[in-house]
Amino acid sequence: MLKQALTILKKFYGYDAFRPGQENIIVNLLQGKDTVAIMPTGAGKSICFQIPALILPGITLVVSPLISLMKDQVDALAQQGIPATYINSSLASSEVSRRLYDISENRYKLVYVAPERLSTDYFQSILNKITISMLAIDEAHCLSQWGHDFRPSYQQITPFIHSLKSRPIISAFTATATPEVKDDIIMLLGLDHPNVQVNGFDRPNLYFSVLRGEDKKKYIINYVKNHADQSGIIYAATRKEVDSIYELLSQKGLKAGHYHAGISDMERTRQQDDYLYDNIQVMVATNAFGMGIDKSNVRYVIHYNMPKNIEAYYQEAGRSGRDGEPGECILLFSPQDTMTQKFLIDVSTENEERKAHEFGKLQTMVDYCHTPDCLRKFIVQYFGETKAPDTCDNCSNCNDESELVDITVDAQKIFSCIYRMNERFGITMIADVLKGSQNKNVLKFHFDTISTYGILSERTVKDIKLIIQRLAATQYLTLTESEYPVVKLTQNAYAVMKGQSSVWQKISKERKANIDSSL
């Protein structure tokens, strides 16, 4: 069986060996075992269902949300001599009928479909006339409400499976799923102890860095200028921001493109092609850009704004260095980004439970921006890796040579202030009380009468907030999952208050100078 798979790998794709994980998936699928595969972008997921599709009898249905990419994928397969087609809303109904007829005549091995299509009676009746050996679900995280890109149309997949006369082998693929999302996918598809292939999430060739307090525009102009021979992506949160960065770079004579949902389809395709063929050096885009774009020589991905969660961040940042050569992933953080994302989450759904979950994920993203620990470890742990080393020597925190300072006394002051405020307030209010602010809310709750009022008056509010964020990022504090998170103490904080452990934080030279001068 493996031999046959290897022969096909060579014959149709021209490769000599499987990449990590591919063999396990292919062999299991050929043995009829349902499989869930979580592999980073670029790991080579497509081959994992295409090769079994060629070996298994009948056809394989591939469910994909990316209508715009189906044609490219099918064309590429056709060029390799693999009989494939797609059915989606971009086709005229006469063309759909023609393709369905060809499908019923077993003329294809792979059929790509948009999930919306699955529930139509006509489609189901055609499919029930032929053998569907396998259902491959691409971007399977779209099934889960806890994933970063839930799509209601994916809810049609499970009823569709039940509507088939005989149940096909089921394979689900995604680049980003937390352990929670993985379990949800298995539950929603009703898979019974499937083969689960999780490839290491680490991308050792990527350098991660978080920069706070930069003049973002200046930073970007300098960066793009200094990397003029390299291809990069700059992600921003809103269309408006994309346009303004694009204009700025263009004014400076830099070869930039822009991409967001407000630009016409034709123009977007043109921009995308220009980027793929290196006519454009840097693409400024919202998160609408990139899904499925196979450009291997992207050398840097800069996030002008913090994204809404780690999955989105890792997927976008992970578009750099797909060729295995070094890639740089830079996140320019500003507190305003948190407000923007909160707004976007707030308007994205009515479902309160989902909203709370999204706010929780946003907080983890904020923690990433504040953790003094290894950024790589933070990411891979998030995806369920338990044995990540403490340092990677290839992220801005591991390379940060600033001084490690004992901040136990400050931390104790902060914790006891939170305790005295009954763990019922957010970071801003706590920082105001510690600073000794006369702000209306502080006075309304009579916090000017508690013993920790003004206990950090020598610090700026900004600095106090930063320390609190870092204490949250290092598990001394937790924040509730809501639009206005409330800060709570953890057992770690209690241990510090009791004098049983100490707290250390790296403090950069500039920040130390600021603190010293404010003392």
Concatenating the DSSP letter of every residue in 434-489 gives HHT---HHHHHTTGGGSTTTTTTTTS-HHHHHHHHHHHHHTTSEEE-SSSSPPEEE
- Closer CB to ligand ADP, 164 or 291, in the complex: 291
- Closer CB to ligand ADP, 45 or 470, in the complex: 45
* Helix 45-55 × helix 22-30 angle, to 10°: 30
Residue 232: CB minimum distance to ligand ADP, A: 19
Show contacts of 258-263: CB within 8 Å, 24+ apart. Answer: 258/283, 258/284, 258/285, 259/283, 259/284, 259/285, 259/286, 259/288, 259/289, 260/285, 260/286, 260/288, 260/289, 261/286, 261/288
- Closer CB to ligand ADP, 44 or 200, in the complex: 44
Nearest CA-CA partner of 174 in 186, 182, 166: 182
CB 410 within 8 A of CB 468: no
CB 286 within 8 A of CB 340: no
- Closer CB to ligand ADP, 112 or 425, in the complex: 112
Residue 404: CB minimum distance to ligand ADP, A: 39
As given in the structure block, the two tokens for residue 199 are 């490839």
Residue 54: CB minimum distance to ligand ADP, A: 14
Concatenating the DSSP letter of every residue in 185-238 gives HHHHHT-SS-EEEE-----TTEEEEEEES--HHHHHHHHHHHTTTSEEEEE-SS
- Closer CB to ligand ADP, 175 or 427, in the complex: 175
CB 294 within 8 A of CB 320: no
- Closer CB to ligand ADP, 39 or 306, in the complex: 39
Interatomic CA distance for residues 352 and 340, integer angstroms = 18
- Closer CB to ligand ADP, 143 or 263, in the complex: 143
Residue in the shown chain whose Cβ atom is closest to ligand ADP: 44
Interatomic CA distance for residues 118 and 63, integer angstroms = 9
Residue 99: CB minimum distance to ligand ADP, A: 24
- Closer CB to ligand ADP, 290 or 485, in the complex: 290
Report the alpha-carbon angle 412-416-420, nearest 5: 170
Nearest CA-CA partner of 384 in 160, 183, 216, 222: 183
CB 84 within 8 A of CB 70: no
As given in the structure block, the two tokens for residue 98 are 């023609």
Residue 403: CB minimum distance to ligand ADP, A: 41
Residue 281: CB minimum distance to ligand ADP, A: 22
Residue 219: count other Cβ atoms within 10 Å of its Cβ.
Answer: 15
Which positions touch ligand ADP (CB under 6 A)?
Answer: 15, 18-19, 22, 39, 41-47, 294
Task: List alpha helices for 61-120, DSSP H.
Answer: 67-79, 93-104
Report the alpha-carbon angle 446-423-421, nearest 5: 20
334 exposed, middle or buried (CB, 10 Å; 0-12, 13-18, 19+)? middle
Residue 406, φ and ψ in degrees, nearest 5: -75, 115
As given in the structure block, the two tokens for residue 513 are 């100078």
- Closer CB to ligand ADP, 139 or 463, in the complex: 139
Residue 322: CB minimum distance to ligand ADP, A: 7
Residue 326: CB minimum distance to ligand ADP, A: 18
Residue 457: CB minimum distance to ligand ADP, A: 53
Residue 389: CB minimum distance to ligand ADP, A: 25
Residue 61: CB minimum distance to ligand ADP, A: 17
- Closer CB to ligand ADP, 274 or 323, in the complex: 323
- Closer CB to ligand ADP, 140 or 471, in the complex: 140
